[in-house]
Structure 1
Amino acid sequence: MRTAFIEELCDLAEQEERIWLLCGDLGYSVLERFRDRFPNRYVNVGVAEQNMTGMAAGLAMCGKIVFTYSIANFPVLRCLEQIRNDVCYHRANVKIVAVGGGLAYGAQGYTHHGVEDLAVMRVLPEMTVIAPGDPIETRLATRAIVRHEGPCYLRLGKAGEPTVHLAEPNFEIGKAIKLREGNHITLISIGGMLATVVKAAERLAEDDIQARVLSMHTLTPLDREAVLAAATETGGIITVEEHGVGGLASAVAEVLAAEGCTVPFRALHLPRKPASHAGSQEALRGVHGLSVEGIMTAAKAILG
């Protein structure tokens, strides 16, 4: 995903001179292509995320479209006050990019596990929160947030995420993408879990269970219509996210509760308790049921 992002950003920067990129002394082997092509619009701020966010807000107030880039928690949790007060309060045109969301940096342990970011960012005023499901969605999301006026958060995987879409889908902020039709159950995915969710739906089909698959790439604003359609047209809803409490599951549950929906609902996410060990992303996902088998088990439990 990060490669798709930087390639698309470079193409957009050729057309839009207002685009700037700020980083916190990382991104080597990825960001150089932007730095070399647009040296006057690239700043390595150093390991100073609070300063990076303040500089981005200032540039945005001068009419620039500013991207900040760092890994996992660093562009969010280290500088949350600056995001809240400098960016959101002024509705500044700052696009915060976190690479390695979820458990992508699993081997580095909990300090590098981005598992609270969606919950934190979705409650901030004026903030649009996007977590694309594959490299194609990443390119489309990058284009969309450049056009969007105001603060945005873009959560990416680390590298190597498979391409799920066979063709470029229609991408609109706040509108889910339907990858599979189905009337038995709905699987709602956000971010890098999309490939796993699609595989689970394919496996369920072998057991004559037709699962609708939604890529809910935008968390805020959430596609309420897609959620309510799933609640009335299918026999249950399962949300799947590489994140802790407060993210996609909470957002979907809020919609269902507000509308009085009684559809069976199951949330697959990470527990509130931090992981006490490090490991590969795949292994850590499996521990918490974020696997093809875990999704299938949850679906069959709902359907009896």
Structure 2
Amino acid sequence: MRRELCEALVARAARPELVFLTGDLGFGALEPLREALGERFLNAGIAEQNMIGVAAALASEGLEPWTYTIAPFCYARAFEQIRNDVCLHRLPVRMLGNGGGYGYGVMGPTHHALEDYGVLSTLPSLRILVPAFDSDVADVVAAAGASPGPVYVRLGRGELPAGCRAPAYAPWRRLRAGRGPVVVAVGPMAGVAWGAFAQDGDAGPEVWAVSELPLALSPPPQAFSDALAGRTLCVVEEHVAQGGLGQALAAWCLTNAAALTGFRTVTAAGYPSGTYGSQGFHRRESGLDAEALRGLLA
């Protein structure tokens, strides 16, 4: 999604208050943005804590700062600064984390973001955006730019199934109707789930995409609530179970007395084999692939 991100920010670059800070990343992808912004494009170096602190200061002066690094270097290295400098002051810093989930593959667990939105959803006033498809990015950038408070954007790789057309962006979207189990997937995993059942008939699963968290800020729509009666709910996310959407939806279902017949989650399992590989390899080990999803809900 880096190309789409660059295009969306270039289109926004005419705003004189916009400042972009990168943690020494984006080479080979963000050069058009650097050209558009000139001295407002800052390389903060491999110093993510300082980058977030500087962004908070810029926001406090009325500017529009965006920070960019890979996802774990954002939420894990700079958590204290996100908490103290940004969120406790409700400052509109837009934090872009590239390579959500297992996105950085063979680079191993230091470069994987498996706890990011669970960790960040504990912070006050923080809005989390997780685009599912490449076509979502422009709308996500617009939403983040219009937000009055802090925003974390988890970028990944668009997973649009062949022959399918992504619906217009929304926090919650029904991708396919069906009378079977209701499948809810976060961000790019929605495309995987959609592809797994795209050829099924009306008796197949109903698939929903979620692109905004936490639920307190983006609660499920009434159409989703209505769809749950008498069905199994399955939550799919490239994130550990603790703090994920599955736990949040389980609590929501209890609070709202959802008449489910079953509840399942499919989450990032870490590293069952103790080895590292591509994003696809880690997804398969976790059951986060189309074949495993079909088997689970057969």
TM-score where L is the length of structure 1: 0.90
What is the Cα deviation at residue 277 of structure 1? 1.7
Structure (1/2) with the larger helix percentage: 1
Output one character per residue of 1:99-157: Cα deviation in whole Å (capped at 9) or x when no partner: 00001111001111110101011111000011110101122111111111110010001
Aligned to 1:214: 208
Per the alignment, do residues 168 and 257 of structure 1 end up closer, same or farther by CA in structure 2, a change over 3 Å counting?
closer
Per the alignment, do residues 79 and 275 of structure 1 end up closer, same or farther by CA in structure 2, a change over 3 Å counting?
farther
Q: Distance in 2 between matches of 1:241 and 1:297?
A: 17
Whether the 8 Å CA contact 1:131–1:190 is kept in 2: the answer is yes
Whether the 8 Å CA contact 2:167–2:173 is kept in 1: the answer is no
Q: Distance in 1 between matches of 2:30 and 2:76?
A: 22
Per the alignment, do residues 272 and 250 of structure 1 end up closer, same or farther by CA in structure 2, a change over 3 Å counting?
farther
Per the alignment, do residues 37 and 274 of structure 1 end up closer, same or farther by CA in structure 2, a change over 3 Å counting?
farther
Aligned to 2:196: 200
Aligned to 1:228: 225
Instruction: Tell me, yes or no, if structure 1 residue 289 matches structure 2 residue 287.
Output: yes
Whether the 8 Å CA contact 1:119–1:247 is kept in 2: the answer is yes
Q: Distance in 1 between matches of 2:270 and 2:276?
A: 16
Instruction: Tell me, yes or no, if structure 1 residue 259 matches structure 2 residue 256.
Output: yes
What is the Cα deviation at residue 50 of structure 1? 0.6
Output one character per residue of 1:211-255: Cα deviation in whole Å (capped at 9) or x when no partner: 2111100122233335523322x6111111111122111121121
What is the Cα deviation at residue 195 of structure 1? 1.7
Per the alignment, do residues 121 and 274 of structure 1 end up closer, same or farther by CA in structure 2, a change over 3 Å counting?
farther
Output one character per residue of 1:80-115: Cα deviation in whole Å (capped at 9) or x when no partner: 010001100111010111000001111001111110
Aligned to 1:10: 10
Per the alignment, do residues 8 and 186 of structure 1 end up closer, same or farther by CA in structure 2, a change over 3 Å counting?
same
Whether the 8 Å CA contact 2:159–2:192 is kept in 1: the answer is no
Q: Give secondary structure in 2 for the equivalent of 1:293.
A: helix
Per the alignment, do residues 100 and 274 of structure 1 end up closer, same or farther by CA in structure 2, a change over 3 Å counting?
farther
Instruction: Tell me, yes or no, if structure 1 residue 96 matches structure 2 residue 95.
Output: yes
RMSD: 1.9
Q: Give secondary structure in 2 for the equivalent of 1:74.
A: helix
Output one character per residue of 1:181-211: Cα deviation in whole Å (capped at 9) or x when no partner: 12322111112212211111224x15x6322
Q: Distance in 1 between matches of 2:145 and 2:60?
A: 15
User: What amino acid maps onto 2:151 in structure 1?
Assistant: C
| Alignment: residue pair count | 291
Whether the 8 Å CA contact 1:136–1:163 is kept in 2: the answer is no
Whether the 8 Å CA contact 2:271–2:282 is kept in 1: the answer is no
Q: Distance in 1 between matches of 2:72 and 2:84?
A: 18
Q: Distance in 1 between matches of 2:130 and 2:62?
A: 26
Q: Give secondary structure in 2 for the equivalent of 1:261.
A: coil
5+ unaligned residues in a row in structure 2: which ranges? none
Q: Which residue, 267, 270, 285 being the options, matches 2:268?
A: 270
Instruction: Give the alignment of 1:39-118 within 5 angstroms.
Output: 39-118=38-117
5+ unaligned residues in a row in structure 1: which ranges? none
What is the Cα deviation at residue 283 of structure 1? 1.2
What is the Cα deviation at residue 78 of structure 1? 0.2
Output one character per residue of 1:33-82: Cα deviation in whole Å (capped at 9) or x when no partner: 11111112111011100100000000001111111110130011101010
Q: Distance in 2 between matches of 1:251 and 1:148?
A: 23
Aligned to 2:143: 144
Q: Give secondary structure in 2 for the equivalent of 1:184.
A: coil
Per the alignment, do residues 105 and 272 of structure 1 end up closer, same or farther by CA in structure 2, a change over 3 Å counting?
closer
What is the Cα deviation at residue 275 of structure 1? 6.9
User: What amino acid maps onto 1:4 in structure 2?
Assistant: E
